[in-house]
Amino acid sequence: MNYEEFQQQKSFDKGELLAFAHGNLFEGAPEEFKVELPAPPMLMIDRIVDITREGAKGRIVAERDVALDDWFFECHFRDDPVQPGCLGVDGVWQLLGFYCAWRGGLGSGRALGCGEVEFSGQIRPHDHLVRYEVDIRRFTKIAHAGASLVIGDALLFVDDELIYEIKRAKVGTFQGIDYPDYPKASPRSRGGKMER
């Protein structure tokens, strides 16, 4: 597919998300396009069921299949396996970064925080399906800064039971911060505070 077709597509299967994570889902993106999803095992999404936009707002519904041998169950905790809550939050950030890319955000994606996180349940090895429902409160392109920003509220369900609520999760895309020559030491090989 080409870049314009990517921006019009309304759902993405696992193969397409993996191709996006490896940078080969589509052709013809602007040179400044650097947004990626993390590759497995850090990828916390198996499919995007629906992605929509309406002005500055939108919505994403996505799913992840729970597997008995998910990597985190083996270490968190050995005698009490549970998915770390932070991975559910990261899944929301991954979806928001994907949304930025889908809306035309350029540069590299970075999580910027969230307002509130409440956990009222857990994900265990014999659960089946995690569902993310993310309402996009605002998407903004900041052309003069070469950046974009998305803010969303998310609900996370396991087997149709609401277990996480995440308010004001934020992700941005920024040009000129990528580190393509990893692991070589170079001007972008060190972290630290980002310019605002």
pLDDT in tens, 132-164: 999 999 999 998 888 999 999 999 999 999 999
Q: Is 76 a catalytic residue?
A: yes
Q: Is the pLDDT of residue 10 over 60?
A: yes
Q: CA 78 to CA 157: how far, in whole Å? A: 24
Q: Work out whether strand 147-158 and strand 116-119 pair parallel, antiparallel, or are unpaired.
A: unpaired
* Residues in contact with 144: Cβ distance below 8 Å, sequence separation at least 6, in sequence order: none
Q: CA 93 to CA 33: how far, in whole Å? A: 18
List the domains of the chain with CATH numbers: 3-174 (3.10.129.10)
Q: Catalytic: which of 22, 76, 128, 144?
A: 76
